[in-house]
């Protein structure tokens, strides 16, 4: 189940006695519980990075490569577990930037390194900016 786009999970409803639309409920479920296990491939560049499409991602055995977070929007969150045996580069999509340390952000085309056997949570509080909390 892929992570939904922003419009699917941020709908506004008119107060009524009717049930919520199924698309909205499914979108919320996918935003919280979607998962993906992938082998990152290609060069460690933003252009060649493997696009992520889930809220919970496991990077499987593979060469050092790169992954790209989904487009940012406030409230979005992606957790990545790197079980690949190699450090992996993590990029934002387009001009989105990812926090390196403290108040420093990597340039969109630079990305950040996720060490082997490390786990990181990427949260978007402001569109275009991914905050990072990592275990190593």
Please say if the pLDDT value at position 9 is more than 70: no
The pTM of this model reads 0.82
Query: Quick check: 67 and 92 in contact, CB under 8 A?
Result: no
DSSP state of 88: E
Mean pLDDT, residues 16-38: 76
Rounded Cα distance between 43 and 73, Å, is 26
Helices within the chain (DSSP H only): 6-9, 22-33
Structural domains present in the chain: 35-134 (2.60.120)
pLDDT in tens, 43-76: 888 999 999 999 999 999 888 889 999 999 998 9
Mean pLDDT over the full length of the chain: 85
């Amino acid at each position: 189940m892929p992570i939904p786009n922003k419009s699917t999970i941020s709908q506004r409803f008119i107060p009524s006695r009717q049930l919520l639309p199924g698309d909205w409920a499914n979108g919320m479920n996918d935003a919280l519980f979607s998962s993906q296990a992938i082998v990152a491939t290609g060069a460690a560049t933003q252009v060649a990075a493997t696009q992520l499409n889930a809220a919970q991602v496991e990077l499987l055995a593979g060469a050092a490569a790169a992954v790209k977070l989904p487009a940012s929007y406030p409230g979005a969150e992606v957790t990545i577990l790197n079980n690949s045996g190699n450090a992996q580069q993590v990029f934002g999509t387009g001009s989105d930037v990812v926090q390196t340390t403290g108040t420093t952000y990597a340039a969109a085309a630079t990305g950040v390194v996720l060490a082997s056997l490390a786990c990181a949570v990427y949260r978007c509080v402001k569109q275009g900016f991914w905050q990072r909390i990592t275990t190593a």
